Structure 1
Amino acid sequence: MKCKNCGTEIPAGYVYCEKCGTEVQMVPDYNPLDDVLTAQVRGALDDEQPRERIIPKNLKNKNGMISYTVTLPVRTAYEEEPEEAAEEAGSPAIKRERRDAAERPQKRNTPKKQKSKPRRPVERKEEPKEEEHRIGLKERKRQLEEEQRRKEEKERKRKKWARRKARILSVLFLLICCGAVSAVLYLNSYSGLVYTGNRYLADGQTGKAIDKLTSAVKKDDSRTEAYKALEKIYLAQNDMDTPEQLYLAAVKAHPANVELYRACIEFYQNTDQLAKISELLDACENDGVLDDLNMYVSSEPKFSLEDEHYDDVQQLSIKSSGEAIYYTLDGTEATTASLLYAEPIQIPEGVTTVRAISVNQEGVPSVEVTKTYTVEFPIVDAPAVSPSTGYYDLPMQITIQVPEGYTAYYTISSAAGEIETPTSASTKYTGPVAMPEGNNIFCAVLIDSKGRSSEIKKMNYELVLQ
């Protein structure tokens, strides 16, 4: 069988065309004349209402089927159907009349006018098979439409998911690209270089760690993270000079950077070089840095005596705002292991070098202060000795004039030997001394109560008795 719409061959058992969807006509074409004749016969039997002529308009549609329009009288809802008409419509006589009218030539006569009577519209009863077929076609069409809707909905969802998937993939791609770029930028940044250096250090790759951390310092020498990591590496190698040089170069390049100064101070504390903290801060000229790090500032000790020459024993006092003062008198460096200052220091005759430091509450020693004192007692004239130097042939007495507050000491030595210098340990002069025989040297000195000595008086006596 071929489709009346598109001409496509329809396989047996199909009720619609697979190409265009047109339904297959399973029953003969409906003839409207049958309804017309039935209506005319029924109108003739109706005694109360005259029949109206029903004029069919026959047309053919594009499929070759008859299309028509029939105008039938319609009974209103409130009009009741006479029982007699209902009985006559179902009687055998009426049925025979209808068959006879169908067999007679199709001649339309104008029905006689009858009394007006409500007319019941003619209803065409379909055969059970036609009804089942029609219902089956409708159900099949509904199923096809439902299936088509499902396909369209599925396709719509597929396209929607495809668009969503494309957007998601695009976003993921952009995120991956951004993440890759960010990772590259981070690894080449200061923080990334420090992070990589610490990772290498944790893995024991010291050389690579130093390279990365050095690169970080070159990228930004004002931050402390790289310096601290390098400090850890060099201290593990017992190298204290390299990190110190790095810190000093950093504070020199950034004299107002408090954090660099703080990191350098912590380095000195970790390496027990507390004295260098005061040297570092003493060289700092930035008031802001000194204010922020004032807890590490240790004031220098103040001496009561300046560097001078003195002719008498002196008493030295030392003061400081720190917790303690330590000092030395032998010229060695003062440390926290030196003498603890508790009372004034006596400066004796001679040269005395005093070195002192002050230690604050943080245990940071101040810059060392050094003072040198010279105490020289005034030298009195040599004592007067009589008789004068010369040759004597009679016994003589040697006398020394001793001023008040002094004691005279003397020595007698042979002129042919070594001359002995008189000191406080020599023979004390208490009165005239007999001149010895021979050629001798007499030496005398005066020493006061403070141990100060006069010049030495030398006399050469030669006594030859006759």
Structure 2
Amino acid sequence: MLCKKCGAKLKDGHVYCEKCGEPVQIVPDFNPLDEAVLENVAGMMNPEEKSTSDRRTVQAPPVHTHTKPQAEKLTLRRKLWILGIAAVLLIAGGGVGFLTYRSNSYIYQIQKAQEYRDKQNTDRAVVYLEKAVELKPEDPAAYETLVEIYTEQHKDEEAVAVLEHMIDQELATVEEYEELIGFYKKAERMSDIPDLILNCTDQNIRKALSDYTVPAPDADLAPGIYYKNVEIELLADIGEIYYTFDGSQPTHKSHLYVRPIMLREGKNIIRAVAVNGDGYYSQDITLEYEIKLDQ
């Protein structure tokens, strides 16, 4: 390194030129940004000095006799600062990851639902179960627990809705079918049971539900057009027959069939259903007759 004034070679470690006595300007090896930060801090601590410094037009460069230790100190400070930020980001990232896991974990939702159920807080349990259903709609476990909770709370409509959904998605077992049949019977929806069983595609389930099925009734006269007064007889293998004349769906509150039915002139629409001793319905049948006496 050469002296900027006289050009003489400077010796390492000397802060003045041995030939002309000119101070040696040593360039610090730390980041100027660190220097700016330190100056700002110093200015806040001593505003008068900062103001004086701002008014200077020319300022001689300072002589640093311990530049390297100071730079090492600032470098260490920067490293600690960076490590601190990294640690904060790591913790924040871990927190976000954990929250994401909780929001998207089916098992977590089931566990939390059971936890709140054990605490008798069924409303919160339902919230977690509904989230579990969204995450894994093909798993019947959450549905089954929802049905249990709604049944305990006497919320029959909600329980029925869940059971019907399970059946639509082909997730129901014989037990779920029987539960739904029980709700239908309680709500006097017996006429919905035959279609429920008929629409089941699992033959094993249909066989297991045979006790809830009733053979449909029949008539001794085929539907059609007749040119004379006729009467029809309704037949059933099991139970009693109920029928309507206006085409509406028959129930156990409709006309009880006890004798042959005399058809009147014009169009006749008879719908009939068989009901067994346990109150279960068959599928209903529709019979249409037209009597024309003037022909």
TM-score bin (small chain)? 0.5 to 0.7
1:326 maps to 2:242: yes
1:296 maps to 2:212: yes
1:226, CA displacement in angstroms?
A: 1.9
CA offset digits 1:384-424 (Å, max 9, x no partner): xxxxxxxxxxxxxxxxxxxxxxxxxxxxxxxxxxxxxxxxx
Aligned-partner Cα distance in 2 for 1:377–1:359: 35
Q: 2:269, 2:288 within 8 Å by CA — same for their partners in 1?
A: yes
Aligned-partner Cα distance in 2 for 1:276–1:373: 26
Change (3 A) 1:320 1:271: same
Amino acid at match of 1:226: T
If the length of structure 1 is used for normalisation, what is the TM-score?
Answer: 0.36
Amino acid at match of 1:304: D
1:244, CA displacement in angstroms?
A: 3.6
Q: Residue 312 of structure 1 corresponds to which residue in structure 2?
A: 228
Q: Identity over aligned residues, as a percent?
A: 24
1:359 maps to 2:282: no
Amino acid at match of 1:248: E
1:260, CA displacement in angstroms?
A: 2.7
- Where 2:282 maps in the other structure, the secondary structure is coil
Q: Residue 346 of structure 1 corresponds to which residue in structure 2?
A: 262
Change (3 A) 1:294 1:332: same
CA RMSD, 1 decimal: 3.0
1:255, CA displacement in angstroms?
A: 6.4
Aligned-partner Cα distance in 2 for 1:255–1:312: 54
1:189, CA displacement in angstroms?
A: 7.2
- Where 2:140 maps in the other structure, the secondary structure is coil
Change (3 A) 1:186 1:285: closer
Q: 1:214, 1:226 within 8 Å by CA — same for their partners in 2?
A: no
Q: 1:255, 1:286 within 8 Å by CA — same for their partners in 2?
A: no
1:260 maps to 2:179: no
If the length of structure 2 is used for normalisation, what is the TM-score?
Answer: 0.55
Q: 1:234, 1:243 within 8 Å by CA — same for their partners in 2?
A: no
1:188 maps to 2:108: yes
Q: Residue 214 of structure 1 corresponds to which residue in structure 2?
A: 130
Q: Using CA pairs under 8 Å that are at least 6 residues apart, name the structure with larger relative contact order, 1 or 2.
A: 2
- Where 2:201 maps in the other structure, the secondary structure is coil
CA offset digits 1:296-324 (Å, max 9, x no partner): 11222122233311111122122223321
1:341, CA displacement in angstroms?
A: 1.2
Q: How does 1:52-451 map to 2 (within 5 A)?
A: 188=108, 190=110, 192=111, 195-196=114-115, 198-199=117-118, 202-203=120-121, 206=123, 208-218=124-134, 219=136, 221-223=139-141, 225-229=144-148, 231-232=150-151, 236=155, 240=157, 242-254=158-170, 257-379=173-295
CA offset digits 1:260-319 (Å, max 9, x no partner): 322322232233322111120121232211111111112221222333111111221222
- Where 2:267 maps in the other structure, the secondary structure is strand
Which stretch of structure 1 is more off in the superposition, 225-234 or 362-371? Answer: 225-234
Change (3 A) 1:265 1:305: same
Aligned-partner Cα distance in 2 for 1:297–1:357: 12
Change (3 A) 1:257 1:187: closer
Aligned-partner Cα distance in 2 for 1:275–1:367: 8
Aligned-partner Cα distance in 2 for 1:361–1:217: 39
List runs of 5+ in structure 1 lacking aligned partners.
1-184, 380-466
Amino acid at match of 2:147: K
Task: Tell me how many residue pairs correspond in the alignment.
Answer: 188
Amino acid at match of 2:175: E
Q: 1:302, 1:319 within 8 Å by CA — same for their partners in 2?
A: yes
1:187, CA displacement in angstroms?
A: 7.3
Q: 1:216, 1:226 within 8 Å by CA — same for their partners in 2?
A: no
Asked which structure has the greater CA Rg, the reply is: 1
Aligned-partner Cα distance in 2 for 1:371–1:230: 44
1:327, CA displacement in angstroms?
A: 0.9
Aligned-partner Cα distance in 2 for 1:290–1:245: 21
Aligned-partner Cα distance in 1 for 2:118–2:193: 31
Q: Decide which structure has greater helix share.
A: 2
Q: 1:256, 1:286 within 8 Å by CA — same for their partners in 2?
A: no
Q: List structure 1 segments (4+ residues) > 6 angstroms apart after TM superposition.
A: none
- Where 1:361 maps in the other structure, the secondary structure is coil
- Where 2:280 maps in the other structure, the secondary structure is coil
Q: Decide which structure has greater strand share.
A: 1
Q: 1:357, 1:368 within 8 Å by CA — same for their partners in 2?
A: yes
CA offset digits 1:76-124 (Å, max 9, x no partner): xxxxxxxxxxxxxxxxxxxxxxxxxxxxxxxxxxxxxxxxxxxxxxxxx
Q: 1:256, 1:289 within 8 Å by CA — same for their partners in 2?
A: no
CA offset digits 1:205-251 (Å, max 9, x no partner): 53x23212324545464346324235438854xx73x5444322211
Q: 1:217, 1:227 within 8 Å by CA — same for their partners in 2?
A: no
